[in-house]
Structure 1
Amino acid sequence: MLPVTADAHLSGPIAVLVNPTAGRGRYRGLLPQLLDGLAAAGRPVRLLPASSPDEAESACHAAVADGVAALVAIGGDGTVHRAMQAVAGTDVPFGPVPAGTGNDFALDTGFPADSLAAVAMIADALRAGRTHPVDLARMTGTDGTERWYGAVLAAGFDAICNERANRMRWPRGPRRYDLAILVELARLRPRRYTLRLDGVPHELDAVLVAVGNCPTYGGGMRICPDADPTDGLLDVVVAGRVNRRTLIRVKPRIYQGTHISHPLVSSYRARTVELTAEGITTYADGERSLDLPVTISAVPGALRLLR
């Protein structure tokens, strides 16, 4: 565990990114209380204007460039992911407030599931000038594009299902993803991957590859159950030549993390992961990200959490 750090001179406003549609809007009524809780830290609270994910990310970058004391993201993993791009690798402290359908990064890094309790923790850390450093994963594409993520990168069947669901216009809501899974299950086939783990190559056929900085994704699925965001390493979980029946049978075990004992599931650990396959668009923290091939590096202490 990395040591707790303290800043005695945090100053300036608290910038807050809010996703009002997170958790299907069920947290919207709590927003005034959440903002009041942050104001209890004794600093002005500044809401960041954003009407799209790209605008949200740009607003966070602008706030950090303006010298805010801290950045807080109220929403799910997607909102946290967007805000994280602005503070990764900087000295600006960050507070994720769980208020979405999936809150994997916040929960895996020690924040309470209750959003009001998370705000109280963040405000107390701000008053005390207290931060906890945690690792992030940095992705680099072939064109040099860089993205950060905190939880898990999906680069197999799960990413393919997300990509199909995002192309569909019907049905709305979770049923669209369920339908995408059914379609892709019918088309399931292993793909050839090349993994280079700290420079050591592995050629394999697989239906699922996940690279985790934290254990969970998808709202509590422990896909990389042994991942630790303070150990300076990435956990890689691979489901090999798995057929439809086996995948359906193994999937419920992911919530407990017991799938890694299946003979067709392998796990690895590395500081740097180079991942190559044809026709895969990755999803990081549930957000559409870079096309393969990518290089992923664990960056120790890249984020300073307010807890």
Structure 2
Amino acid sequence: MTRLRVGLLANPTAAQGTAHRVGRQVAHLLRLAGISVVDLSGPSAHVARARAEELRDSLTALVVVGGDGTVSLGAEIVAGTPVRLGIVPAGSGNDFARALGLAVDDPESSTRALLHALSRPVVTIDAIELIAAGDNALPHRSLALGNVNLGFDALVNARANSGRAGHGTRYTAAVLRELPAFSPLPFWLEIDGGERIEVDATILSLCSTGVYGGGMTMVPGARIDDGVLDLATVSGIGRAQLLRLFPRVFKGTHTTLDAVDIRPVREVTVGLRHGRTLRVYADGEPRSLLPVTARVLPGAVRLLAELPAPVEGSGGGGPGDSEPGDSEGAQ
């Protein structure tokens, strides 16, 4: 029998260098289990990508050690190939891993899960492809697995990335710092080839997992293997209501509010009117400036993990689920 060969890519800077140490531990444990491991890590994402792409065809799986940005890099490398993507959460946020129910800060459990998945049938998940043109064009194929943030959520992501505290704390602090000066953004959208529409929105997120910001659940019950994305829009509310919205997003009880709209899409192009500019964030990392086209790639990535069972009755609620003080009048 041919010996399984696994590439291992650890982000040397994730979680203040913790991912690099965890990567060495995971490589050791995989070798003890009889797996051939080749270290593809590099001083930069560019170097690691080049190494992984050079050896990709010889690999059974690519295991990435880091946060959501490292997971996206792994997806870009293996999407559309037979190589399976394994994940060892070792970043500051780990939202994608949490959405999958993967063990966080436990390299031994993560390695056991990888070894178990190697003996199981292949699981495929969707990816989100981001396409920008002209001066905004990206230097390589840009994929995300969790979410694309396009509104206030993108501004908060940018500010949170510059913080030093834990990811959840940084995100909350960034919300409070961005909120006083924020006003709804003048978007235009083209959804699934339809006519251009205009909307002034506060939050605009394109979701596959629906989980970001250290555990916020923008789209409860979202699936990463259903061939569609969820476009989540929050509009028509003022700063006070927006501030009250965020605790509900952590609990997933916000979807009944009139200000929240969630619809399935396969492709959407988003831009800003009036000459405004905004950088898109995807899986916590900066991508291109708007306008950008995002589309789902069904089953594009073979995942070295088992998917959690669907959540029954999630994704919305009936009348009476609202909480006191949730009036939707703009302020």
Which TM-score applies when normalising by structure 1?
A: 0.85
Tell me, in whole angstroms, the C-alpha distance in 2 between the residues paired with 1:207 and 1:67: 46
1:161 aligns to what? 156
Deviates more, 1:205-214 or 1:112-121: 112-121
- 1:77-88 map, 5 Å: 77-88=68-79
Judged with a 3 Å threshold, the aligned counterparts in structure 2 of structure 1 residues 10 and 111 are, in CA distance, closer, same or farther, namely farther
1:194 aligns to what? 188
| Contact 2:8/2:41 (8 A) holds in 1 | no
1:282 aligns to what? 280
How far residue 164 of structure 1 moved from its aligned partner, in angstroms, is 4.5
How far residue 209 of structure 1 moved from its aligned partner, in angstroms, is 0.4
| Contact 1:95/1:122 (8 A) holds in 2 | yes
| Contact 1:14/1:71 (8 A) holds in 2 | yes
Name the count of aligned residue pairs.
294
What percentage of aligned pairs have identical amino acids?
A: 35
1:4 aligns to what? none
Deviates more, 1:272-281 or 1:133-142: 272-281
In the alignment, does 2:62 pair up with 1:71? yes
Instruction: Report Cα offsets for 1:213-251 as digits up to 9, x if no partner.
Output: 112112221112232111100001111132221111111
Tell me, in whole angstroms, the C-alpha distance in 1 between the residues paired with 2:270 and 2:175: 23
Tell me, in whole angstroms, the C-alpha distance in 1 between the residues paired with 2:200 and 2:2: 50
Tell me, in whole angstroms, the C-alpha distance in 2 between the residues paired with 1:118 and 1:33: 11
How far residue 83 of structure 1 moved from its aligned partner, in angstroms, is 1.8
1:232 aligns to what? 227
- 1:216-227 map, 5 Å: 216-227=211-222
Q: Letter of the aligned partner of 1:217 in structure 2?
A: Y
- 1:130 partner SS: coil
- 1:246 partner SS: helix
Deviates more, 1:26-35 or 1:181-190: 26-35
How far residue 96 of structure 1 moved from its aligned partner, in angstroms, is 0.8
| Contact 1:11/1:68 (8 A) holds in 2 | no
- 1:1-307 map, 5 Å: 13-26=5-18, 30-64=22-56, 67-113=58-104, 114-126=106-118, 128=119, 130-143=121-134, 145=138, 146-164=141-159, 172-173=164-165, 180-201=174-195, 202-277=197-272, 278-307=276-305
| Contact 1:276/1:293 (8 A) holds in 2 | yes
| Contact 2:64/2:88 (8 A) holds in 1 | yes
Deviates more, 1:187-196 or 1:229-238: 187-196
How far residue 172 of structure 1 moved from its aligned partner, in angstroms, is 4.2
How far residue 173 of structure 1 moved from its aligned partner, in angstroms, is 4.3
CA RMSD for the aligned pairs? 2.5
